[in-house]
């Protein structure tokens, strides 16, 4: 099973791990409304750090995708982005038709 990175202790960043450890220490300090407030605030802080980390991962993935698309366009030659988009739309429609059970007319008979 693939759990989200933000709840997988082994994939925490050092900052997330430090907040997690601090939360654990506060919880061990005892039971008191102020300590409960501190645990809640630490949880919110860890979520904010996780939001930032996830946004950086998404940004990196987007940049890698853009680079891959640019390499593909370079391989295809003088194909503009609009033409490539049209090709992708045609292929997506063809895949949808194949999934619906329509005959694949691209192969020779």
**Contact between 54 and 11 (Cβ < 8 Å):** no
CB atoms within 10 A of CB 12: 20
Mean pLDDT over all residues of the chain? 86
pLDDT tens-digit profile of 95-106? 888 888 876 555
- Check residues 107 and 63 and name the one with the higher pLDDT: 63
Distance CA 107, CA 109 (A): 6
pLDDT at 72: 77
Q: Which helix (H) or strand (E) holds 39?
A: helix 33-76
| Model pTM above 0.75 | no
């Amino acid at each position: 099973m693939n759990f989200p990175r933000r709840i997988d202790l082994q994939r925490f960043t050092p900052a997330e791990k430090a907040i997690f450890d601090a939360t654990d220490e506060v919880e061990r300090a005892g039971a008191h409304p102020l300590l409960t407030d501190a645990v809640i605030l630490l949880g919110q802080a860890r979520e904010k750090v996780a939001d930032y980390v996830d946004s950086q991962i998404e940004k990196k993935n987007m940049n890698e995708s853009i680079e891959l698309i640019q390499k593909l366009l370079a391989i295809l030659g003088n194909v503009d982005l609009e033409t490539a988009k049209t090709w992708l739309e045609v292929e997506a429609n063809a895949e949808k038709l194949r999934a619906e059970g329509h005959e694949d007319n691209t192969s020779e008979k």
